[in-house]
């Protein structure tokens, strides 16, 4: 390092500053000693020149040997001590430099780990927001489905499918109990008069008597036909055996 070294790492600053300061002092002291000895060499009589005491120009500008200075030995000891201490300081500073390098590497590793964790955190927050949005949509859909089910299943008359059921033995073979049993085997019950009337309003027509839950047997007509009551409406039959009008509720209401 020189006096003009640009320090870019504040961790190394104390060690480098001490080293630069010591070298600067040593350089100045050596320069001062050299100047002192040069002056003394010029002033000492008989130090150089011819018999007339005149000093040669070449000797005037030459650098004198430090040993000619009376304080040379002492200065050499001081210089040697300064060099020794400088070497010790360098030995002390070197492990700290290695430690600083290791710490710098650890800091870089930790910064990389922090960056990775921040990316994972952002990704987790994004996924969480997306899942929360889906949950909210699903909850809204469930609320709508539940309300729709409530409306459908609480309707009067109950919603479902009304159908005419004939005995395998032929037309008009069920009494009332047998009709109930036959509907139950189909997962249904005997239809009520209101359910048959609703189906008739929706356009149902069938000229075939069937048992209802009130113990009567009837059939719906929209046209006037001979043998089918000759009128429009819910026609009542006077029979002891008939088919069955069954009603199966919506499966969602089970």
Characterize 3-27 residue by residue with b for buried, 16 or more Cβ atoms within 10 angstroms of its Cβ, and e for exposed. Answer: eeeeeeeeebeebeeebbebeeebe
State residue 199's pLDDT score: 92
State residue 135's pLDDT score: 72
**Entry pTM:** 0.42
Cα–Cα distance, 200 to 205 (Å, whole number): 7
The chain-wide mean pLDDT, for the chain, equals 75
Cβ pair 238, 135 in contact under 8 A: no
pLDDT at 122 over 50: yes
Phi-psi region of 171 (alpha: psi -120 to 50; beta: other; left: phi over 0): beta
State residue 46's pLDDT score: 46
pLDDT band at 77 (very low <50, low <70, confident <90, very high): confident
pLDDT band at 55 (very low <50, low <70, confident <90, very high): very low
């Amino acid at each position: 390092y020189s006096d003009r070294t640009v320090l870019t790492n504040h961790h190394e600053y104390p060690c480098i500053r001490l080293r630069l300061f010591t070298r600067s002092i040593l350089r100045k002291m050596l320069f001062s000693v050299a100047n002192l000895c040069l002056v003394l060499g010029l002033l000492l009589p008989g130090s150089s020149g011819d018999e007339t005491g005149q000093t040669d120009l070449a000797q005037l500008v030459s650098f004198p040997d430090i040993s000619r200075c009376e304080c040379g030995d002492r200065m050499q000891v001081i210089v040697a001590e300064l060099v020794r201490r400088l070497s010790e300081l360098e030995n002390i500073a070197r492990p700290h430099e290695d430690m600083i390098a290791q710490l710098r590497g650890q800091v870089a590793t930790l910064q990389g780990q922090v960056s990775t964790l921040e990316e994972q955190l952002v990704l987790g927050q994004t996924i969480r927001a997306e899942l929360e949005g889906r949950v909210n949509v699903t909850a809204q859909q469930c609320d709508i489905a539940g309300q729709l089910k409530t409306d459908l299943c609480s309707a009067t008359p109950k919603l479902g499918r009304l159908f005419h059921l004939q005995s395998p033995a032929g037309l008009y073979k069920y009494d009332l109990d047998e009709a109930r049993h036959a509907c139950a085997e189909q997962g249904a019950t005997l239809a009520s008069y209101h359910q048959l009337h609703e189906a008739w309003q929706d356009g149902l027509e069938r000229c075939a008597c069937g048992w209802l839950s009130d113990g009567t047997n009837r059939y719906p007509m929209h046209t006037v036909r001979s043998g089918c009551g000759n009128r429009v409406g819910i026609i009542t039959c006077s029979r002891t055996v008939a088919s069955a009008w069954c009603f199966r509720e919506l499966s969602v209401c089970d």
